[in-house]
Each structure stands twice: as structure tokens, then as C-alpha cells.
């Protein structure tokens, strides 16, 4: 190892120490990592430093463009090194895919994700978590682009390839059911849903992974039921969801390793959102207001923690959209309850929050905001 590489390792160690402080000194950590790049480094060390710098930008800042720049450079360098850097290269690819999917939407980004995954899927097979994530990204991009057949076919291949991991296998089976319903316009397959429920009940019920999978299953059922206006038949699932989320919160398990749908706080927010939808359908506006307050408090706490700890961008993005959906639902409740000024407060929060967090969020909820303004006029 050259003297430049030794100094770079020391600077990365300093960056890691700064990152682990509470709260983390992110700007100083980034400066340390950037400083390492000014040294005379071997190709292997330069790739490693760029990867670490890309991760800092990805997890701790909203600058996806710079994160992608460093991750892309690290990935290209690691690719030229062959088998020497396979796992770090695939880890960089996972972050690149996530950044492209959750960044500004474009056909070029989607096509690039699909091309990268096709090229690396075979290399990822020895790493089950990465392998499953790449399949999920491939399915997600095809679903976003409206390629129902490609998404469903990828689900089927993933189900076959992940047969040895029952939890991941069932995630893909549930995903296939959702892809069919969302993109193809078909109703959720009831018989498949029943079979999935039975298979979940056969798993180790003490495992956090099983608990998370079960919540994903319950939430998909609830979403389909509430979309059909089945408020009565959804009550049992809603109560189960609330009790399961409450039990997870008491355990203090905020983050679960490996493949998971949501962590405890986003799950709590989602449970509140489902309860508000159910309450709105039953015209129980006081109950809706109660759960809206609970959900917003959890979101504020989560955002405060996310500024100090690394957070997967997809999870943060889902929390942002749940906040918008909470305000949309609460505005509708306030309009129906003849509280126009309170509805305007919800609409104002939607506009201000979406403008602070990127144009794509405003574009996504713009029609809903316009509809609420017309209804509240």
C-alpha cells in the first residue's frame, strides 16, 4: 500500500468518526473524504474513497446529483477491476438504482436502471439481499413505466429464484398480486391472497422479518378493501394492523436488518393513514382528526431522527408522500365537516411542504391540491 493510500485510510477513519458523532458532523466528514481524493492514490483506493463519499452524500444530504456522480465513478472503476470488487460494486449499484428511481423521473433514468440490473443480476446471485433488491428495483421501474407484462414476468422469475427464503419469496408473491392490480387494472387475486396468508402463518411468528411481512400483507388487503369502500369488512384487519404496530413500537425495534417493507415509525404513520381513510368513509371526522395528529407527530419525530442518522431515500420519500396523503385526506374530512378554514390549513401545508421537497412531489399531488381548492371554494 502506497503512502497516499495510508493517509487516505486515516482520513476515511476520521470521516467515519465524524459521521458517528451524535449529531453527525456530515460536512466535516465529507471534507475529510474529499481531501483523501486529492492524494496520489491507487485505483483500488480511489474507487473505495469515491464509494464512501457517494454514500455520505446519498444518506446524509439531499444532493442526489453529487451522490450519483461519485457512486457512478466508483462503480465504473470497480467494474474495470473484475472480480476483485464484486460486492462493493454491487452495493454501489443498489444505491445508484435507488437514486435514479427516486430522483427526477425520466425515461433515460428508467432505461439505465433496467440495463444495469440486467448486466449485474447474474453476478448478484451469491449475495441474496442484493439479488432480491435488484429484482425489486427491476419490478418497480417496469411498474412505473406501465410495462405490466415485464413486471409480472420479473415477479415470477424472482419467486422461482428466491424459493429458499420463504420471507423474500412471499414478498415477491404479494408484489406480483399488487402489480397485476395496479398496472393491469385487474382485481387482487383473492385465492392467491388466502394462500399467501396461510403461508405467512406457517413462518416463525417471533421473527421481526415475519412481523414486517405480515404487516405488508395486512396493509395490501386494507388498501384493496378501502379502495372498494368495504369499511365493515376492513375493520378486523385495521384492528390487527393497529395492535401489531403498537406491539412493534413497544419492542423498540426501529430498524430491522435485511429485506423489510417499512420500519416502525413509517408503519405507525401508515396505520394512522389507513385509519383516517376508514374514518372518512364512515364520516367519523373526530376520529380522523385524532389519528391525523398522532401521525404528524410521528412524522416530525422521524424527520428529526433522519437528519442525524442515515436513512434509505426510498423510506424517506414514502414518509413524505404519506404526509401529503394525510393532509389530503384531512382536508377532505374538514370540507365534508364544513370547516373550510381548517381545510385551507391542510391545503397550505401540502403546497408549502411539496415546494420544499422537490418539483416531482408538487407535480404528483398538484391535481389533488387543485381539486381540494375547487371543493373548498
Rounded mean pLDDT, 200-224:
86
Give me the pLDDT at residue 236, please: 85
Nearest-angstrom CA–CA distance, 340 and 375? 10
Give me the pLDDT at residue 256, please: 58
Give me the pLDDT at residue 184, please: 58
Is a pLDDT exceeding 70 seen at residue 189?
Answer: no
Which is higher by pLDDT, 189 or 252? Answer: 189
Band (226; pLDDT cuts 50, 70, 90): confident
Pull the grid cell for residue 181. Answer: 392490480
pLDDT tens digits for range 314-342: 778 889 999 999 999 999 999 999 999 99
Q: Using alpha carbons only, give the angle 109, 102, 345 rounded to the nearest 5 degrees.
A: 135
Q: Domain limits of the chain?
A: 262-376
Instruction: Please say whether the beta carbons of 72 and 96 come within 8 A.
Output: yes
pLDDT tens digits for range 340-377: 999 999 999 999 998 888 777 888 898 999 999 988 77
Give me the pLDDT at residue 17, please: 93
Give me the pLDDT at residue 308, please: 65
Reported as half-sphere exposure (CB side, CA atoms, 13 A), residue 113 has a value of 30
List, in order, residues 6 or more apart from 369 with CB less than 8 Å away.
Answer: 347, 350, 351, 354
pLDDT tens digits for range 66-114: 999 999 999 999 999 988 889 999 999 999 999 998 877 788 999 999 9
Nearest-angstrom CA–CA distance, 28 and 52? 14
Burial class (CB in 10 A: 0-12, 13-18, 19+), 236: exposed
pTM of the model: 0.85
Is a pLDDT exceeding 80 seen at residue 187?
Answer: no
List, in order, residues 6 or more apart from 308 with CB less than 8 Å away.
Answer: 22, 23, 24
Amino acid at each position: 500500500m502506497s503512502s497516499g493510500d495510508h493517509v487516505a485510510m486515516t482520513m476515511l477513519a476520521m470521516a467515519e468518526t465524524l459521521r458517528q458523532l451524535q449529531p453527525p458532523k456530515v460536512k466535516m466528514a465529507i471534507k475529510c473524504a474529499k481531501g483523501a481524493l486529492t492524494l496520489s492514490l491507487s485505483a483500488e483506493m480511489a474507487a473505495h474513497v469515491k464509494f464512501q463519499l457517494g454514500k455520505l452524500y446519498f444518506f446524509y444530504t439531499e444532493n442526489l446529483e453529487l451522490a450519483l456522480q461519485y457512486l457512478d465513478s466508483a462503480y465504473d472503476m470497480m467494474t474495470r477491476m473484475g472480480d476483485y470488487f464484486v460486492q462493493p460494486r454491487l452495493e454501489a449499484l443498489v444505491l445508484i438504482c435507488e437514486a435514479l428511481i427516486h430522483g427526477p423521473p425520466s425515461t433515460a433514468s428508467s432505461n439505465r436502471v433496467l440495463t444495469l440490473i440486467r448486466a449485474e443480476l447474474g453476478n448478484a446471485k451469491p449475495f441474496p439481499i442484493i439479488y432480491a433488491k435488484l429484482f425489486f428495483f427491476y419490478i418497480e421501474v417496469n411498474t412505473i413505466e406501465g410495462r405490466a407484462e415485464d413486471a409480472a414476468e420479473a415477479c415470477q422469475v424472482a419467486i422461482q429464484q428466491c424459493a429458499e427464503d420463504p420471507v423474500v419469496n412471499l414478498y415477491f408473491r404479494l408484489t406480483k398480486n399488487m402489480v397485476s392490480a395496479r398496472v393491469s387494472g385487474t382485481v387482487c387475486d383473492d385465492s392467491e391472497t388466502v394462500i399467501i396468508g396461510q403461508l405467512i402463518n406457517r413462518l416463525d411468528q417471533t421473527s421481526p422479518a415475519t412481523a414486517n411481512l405480515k404487516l405488508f400483507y395486512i396493509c395490501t388487503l386494507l388498501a384493496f378493501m378501502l379502495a372498494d369502500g368495504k369499511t365493515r369488512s376492513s375493520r378486523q384487519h385495521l384492528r390487527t394492523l393497529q395492535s401489531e404496530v403498537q406491539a412493534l413500537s413497544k419492542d423498540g425495534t426501529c430498524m430491522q436488518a435485511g429485506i423489510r417493507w417499512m420500519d416502525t415509525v413509517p408503519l405507525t404513520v401508515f396505520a394512522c393513514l389507513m385509519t383516517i381513510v376508514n374514518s372518512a368513509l364512515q364520516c367519523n371526522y373526530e376520529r380522523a382528526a385524532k389519528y391525523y395528529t398522532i401521525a404528524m407527530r410521528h412524522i416530525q419525530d422521524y424527520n428529526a431522527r433522519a437528519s442525524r442518522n442515515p436513512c434509505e431515500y426510498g423510506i424517506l420519500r414514502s414518509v413524505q408522500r404519506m404526509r401529503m396523503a394525510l393532509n389530503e385526506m384531512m382536508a377532505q374530512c374538514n370540507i365534508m365537516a364544513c370547516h373550510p378554514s381548517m381545510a385551507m390549513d391542510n391545503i397550505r401545508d401540502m403546497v408549502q411542504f411539496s415546494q420544499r421537497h422537490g418539483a416531482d412531489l408538487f407535480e404528483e399531488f398538484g391535481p389533488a391540491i387543485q381539486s381540494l381548492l375547487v371543493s373548498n371554494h
